[in-house]
Amino acid sequence: MLGLFKRSIESKQKIIIFYIDSENKVTERYIRVLRIDKDSILAYCYYRRKVRTFSMENILSAGKVRKKVGA
């Protein structure tokens, strides 16, 4: 997961994370990582349209954004 975050910084690539929010709900967020800290990441959140801090322990999984295939 850390490698994916580093690639997001280097390539300014959007990724998807599944995250436990402050209300203990699992949310899906599209982000672009700006900085990696010891226990958190600083990222632009496309859902909230602002820079947010995400706790590493609350990130359940992360992955590349898959391109949609049209009909």
Q: Where are the domains of the chain?
A: 2-64
pTM (two decimals) = 0.86
The answer regarding whether domain 2-64 maps to CATH 1.10.1060 reads: no
pLDDT tens readout for residues 7-21:
999 999 999 999 998
The pLDDT tens digits for 33-66 are 999 999 999 999 999 999 999 999 999 999 999 8
Q: pLDDT per residue over 18-31, tens digit each?
A: 999 889 999 999 99
- Strands 59-64 and 15-20, sheet pairing: antiparallel
Short-list 19, 20, 59, CA closest to 37: 59
